[in-house]
């Protein structure tokens, strides 16, 4: 498997949230955690990010235990520190505390240097009618694609 073949996405995020800004953050990991990520055994579907004492942590991110590890294995759902610049952290903390926005992980990947990175986004929750509008647009695009395909044949 290639170094950068890992690309774990949070598919529900774009449906449930309106994405305002995106950031790429590093993750502080233990040895067995990065090995599990390289095997593709991670899940970010239910995870979110929170601030604790000026630092940003991802919560509820599930990285399964490494199969070849001994008793020194990691906790699958532990909090993991995200690595961003001080300026980015202050900006995000200010927006989250004042306006009620949330920070959601969108994608977990391994970059060209072999480091695990997490693409996070500053998001605003969608209302029910926004979700219905998204579904309606998706269905109309599918219908149009079917018509075009039938017309071209």
Q: What is the pLDDT of residues 22-37, one digit of tens each?
A: 999 999 988 888 888 8
pLDDT at residue 1 above 50? no
Taking the domain 7-126, which CATH number applies?
Answer: 2.40.280.10
Q: What is the mean pLDDT of the chain?
A: 87
How far apart are alpha carbons 87 and 91 in whole angstroms?
6
Residue with tokens 């075009």: 148
For 38-81, write each residue's pLDDT tens digit.
Answer: 888 888 988 999 999 989 999 999 888 887 777 777 777 788 99
**How much helix, strand and coil, in percent to the nearest 5, is found in the chain?**
35, 35, 35
The pLDDT score that the predictor gives to residue 4 is 52
pLDDT at residue 142 above 50? yes
């Amino acid at each position: 498997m290639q170094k950068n073949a890992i690309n774990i996405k949070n598919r529900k995020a774009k449906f449930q949230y309106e994405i305002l800004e995106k950031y790429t953050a590093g993750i502080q990991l233990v040895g067995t955690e990065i090995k599990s990520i390289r095997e593709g055994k991670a899940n970010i579907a239910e995870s979110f990010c929170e601030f604790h004492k000026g630092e940003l942590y991802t919560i509820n991110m599930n990285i399964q235990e490494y199969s070849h590890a001994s008793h020194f294995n990691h906790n699958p759902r532990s909090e993991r520190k995200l690595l961003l610049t001080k300026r980015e952290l202050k900006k995000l903390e200010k927006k989250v505390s004042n306006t009620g926005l949330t920070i959601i992980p969108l994608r977990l990947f391994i970059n060209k240097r072999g480091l695990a990175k997490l693409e996070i986004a500053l998001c605003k929750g969608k209302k029910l009618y926004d979700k219905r509008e998204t579904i309606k647009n998706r269905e109309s695009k599918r219908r149009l694609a079917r018509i075009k395909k039938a017309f071209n044949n």
